[in-house]
Chain A
Amino acid sequence: MKLSRQEVEHIAELAKLGLTDEEVERYQDQLSSILDYVEMLTKLDTKDARPMAHVLPVSNVMRDDHVHASFPRDEILSNAPDTADGCFRVPLVLEESNS
């Protein structure tokens, strides 16, 4: 199953990637072959398999609600390419966040 051009462009847009025409074509092929490979799984008989979100046999790993010291701000900001007023400085965000 080959991904359409629009599908690749849509994925690129979601990933905030700017692709050239030539790249779109290349990824069309590459992503399609990955999907074909994964497609093999659909041949398996999963009639008796329970849905599973995790492979590890653990659950309910939780912590108590205790506060520990946070990191020093200088250290936290030292990795940032740009800072101002104790904040991370990033390119202007025009769209409102939506969470």
Chain B
Amino acid sequence: MAEYEAAIGLEVHAQLLTKSKMFCSCSADYAGAEPNTRVCPVCLGMPGMLPVINRKAVEFTIMTGMALHCQIPAHTKWDRKNYPYPDLPKGYQISQYDLPLAINGYLAFDVEGERKRVGIRRVHLEEDTGRLYHVEEASLVDFNRSGVPLMEIVSEPDIRSPEEAREYLVQLRMILRYLGVSTADMEAGAFRCDANISVRRQGEEVLGVPVEVKNMNSFRAVKLALEYELVRQSVLLTRGEPIERETRGWVSSENRTVSQRSKEEAHDYRYFPEPDLPPLEVAPAWVAEIGERIPELPEAKRQRFVRDYELSAYDAGVLTADRDIAGFYEQAVEIGTVGETEITPKVISNWVTGELFRLMKEENAGIESVNFSPTALVGLIRLVQQGLINANAGKSVLDEMFRTGQSPEQIVEAKGLAQISEVHALASVIRQVLDDNPKPVREYLEGKKQALGFLVGQVMRATRGKANPKVVNRLLQEALRERS
């Protein structure tokens, strides 16, 4: 199949995280609500009702456009898209046709070791539909979702492989989550993806016949469906058979796409300006103000982590995939720099991406449900670095912290994993030894490092050899540093 290549464009619909709906004040939080308990005459399309624009939804869309390097046109308006199904009671969807909120941007990311840049054609705002449940002989309609703000992000057909498509979605989802504009949860239907894919011989200029693919409910499904289409269309081209311009649905149980024979007319949306909504004038000052609210985005954060913390690109990528994990990590790094033993960002990264991620994965928990603080994590790492407990004990302490939220010191003490009390005892022995031997102390501080051996010997003698020499060594050096 190497001689064929795909041109893929993706359309993503993301529900926005507003409290209320797009054009009325009903709650947009419909998950788990009884059917038709989040509805009013506006979102039910009752005659004579007038929609009023939710400012937050507009700002979220502009913010997303800016994060995707789009132009934000000064004029934007609303249009009606005719829609003949009962899950939108008005008979049309309020959307944006020729003047969307954001245009001409791009999303750049690394995939399979190469830099990829995918054009963003437009970002616009519209309203979600209600939900249909098919029962015997009838359909039931729940309008709780009807009117929830829905942002549509349309890419150019710049994507060349199913893997690139998957990575584009991963990056886009990450950005939406960083911005806090959407949960972007695909399983919950807050992030939906349709694809247009055409196949042509490699090197050919003209795009092939585009086929629309729907019903892909996970990133995996997107990748599999596009792989399937790439093969299907390549085979047709090889045989010299025509590719039909059509809509196909992914059937995950059969691992293939099937033609959805929808009537041609269904695509005749007959857009026209929405007379119930005045246009929006997007002033530069408003755009600037929204721009101020854009946080550091994953790409920039990842580069900063590599630069400032000397992490590998891979580790930085994993740590910045989730904004809250990145935040947790950075707090830990900051705490690691203060205190008697400095903990490097690299060491903290190893603990977070290794042990902490393992525990989170085992318990299927997000960082928000980790019930110990970055301070506690650094406290634990410090115990290990100081040699008070070994790395294996450290892992089991982290296990316990994860389960109980207790502090590492409490756990170590309770489990008798190390000699915390002995350390306290050691500290006073060391103080005594240093006080009693001013000459070797002075020599050490003047640079005669071999004086340390004498002092270690004194401490070992005072403890009758019971102390851990490694620990004694470290604690002695720290105590000496304090006297310098």
Which A residues contact B (CB, under 8 angstroms)?
Answer: 10, 13-14, 16, 53-54, 56, 58-68, 70-71, 73, 76-77, 82, 84-93, 95-99
Minimal Cβ-Cβ distance residue in B for A96? B260
- Asked if A62 and B53 make an inter-chain contact with CB atoms under 8 angstroms apart, the answer reads yes
**In the bound complex, do residue A99 and residue B128 qualify as a contact, i.e. CB atoms below 8 Å apart?**
yes
Q: How far is the CB of A80 from chain B (nearest CB, A)?
A: 9
User: B415 → chain A, closest Cβ, in Å?
Assistant: 49
Near A by CB (< 8 A), chain B positions 435-468 give: none
Q: Of A10, A61, A90, which contacts B139 at CB under 8 A? A: A90
Closest residue of chain A to B283, judged by CB? A60
Q: Assess the B20–A67 pair: CB atoms within 8 A.
A: yes
Choose one: B53, B87, B138, B263; the contact of A91 (CB below 8 Å).
Answer: B138
Nearest residue (CB) in B for A87 is B140
Closest Cβ neighbor of B286 among chain A residues? A60
- Mark out the residues of chain B between 32 and 79 whose CB falls within 8 Å of any chain A CB in the assembled complex: 34-41, 44, 52-58, 77
- B27 adjacent to chain A (CB < 8 Å): yes
Fill in one digit per residue for B386-408: 1 if any A CB lies within 8 Å of its CB, else 0.
Answer: 00000000000000000000000
> Does chain A have a CB within 8 A of B362?
no
B312 at the A interface (CB under 8 A): no
- B85 and A87: CB pair below 8 A? no
Residues of B within 8 A of A58 (CB): 278
In the complex, are the beta carbons of B138 and A84 less than 8 A apart? yes
Q: Chain B: how many interface residues by the 8 Å CB criterion?
A: 64
Judged by a CB distance under 8 angstroms, whether B82 is at the interface is: yes
Interface contact B83-A99, CB-CB below 8 Å: yes
In this complex, the member of A82, A95, A97 whose beta carbon has the largest number of chain B beta carbons within 10 angstroms is A97
Contact of B93 among A63, A73, A99 (CB under 8 A): A99
Q: Which of B36, B53, B77 contacts A88 (CB 8 A)?
A: B36
User: Within the assembled complex, what's the spacing in Å between the Cα atoms of A86 and B144?
Assistant: 11
Q: A14-B270, A88-B36 are in contact. Are A70 and B278 (CB under 8 A)?
A: no
Asked if B278 contacts A97 (CB within 8 A), the reply is: no
B132 nearest in chain A by CB position: A93
> How far does the Cβ of B91 sit from chain A's closest Cβ, in whole Å?
9
A contact patch SS: loop
Q: Is the CB of A60 within 8 A of B280?
A: yes
**In the assembled complex, which residues on chain A have CB atoms less than 8 Å from the CB atom of B134?**
92-93
A76 vs B49: C-alpha distance when bound (angstroms): 14
Query: Closest A-chain residue to B79, C-beta based?
Result: A53
Contact of A73 among B19, B37, B87, B135 (CB under 8 A): B37
Known: A14-B268, A93-B132. A61 touches B35 (CB 8 A): no
Say whether B266 contacts A95, CB under 8 Å: yes
Known: A86-B34, A90-B86, A95-B266. A66 touches B20 (CB 8 A): yes
- Kindly list chain A residues whose C-beta atoms are within 8 Å of the C-beta of B36: 73, 76-77, 86-88
Q: Flag if B138 contacts A63 (CB, 8 Å).
A: no
Determine whether the beta carbon of B279 is less than 8 Å from that of A90: no
Can you show 20 pairs from A to B with CB atoms below 8 A apart? Answer: A10-B265, A10-B268, A53-B279, A59-B280, A61-B278, A67-B27, A70-B38, A71-B39, A82-B138, A85-B140, A89-B138, A89-B140, A90-B139, A90-B141, A91-B138, A91-B139, A92-B137, A95-B85, A96-B262, A99-B13
B314 on the interface (CB 8 Å rule)?
no
Check B171 for interface membership: any CB of A closer than 8 A.
no
- Determine the chain A residues whose CB is within 8 A of the CB of B150 once the complex forms: 99
The reply to whether B44 and A54 contact each other, CB–CB distance below 8 Å, is no
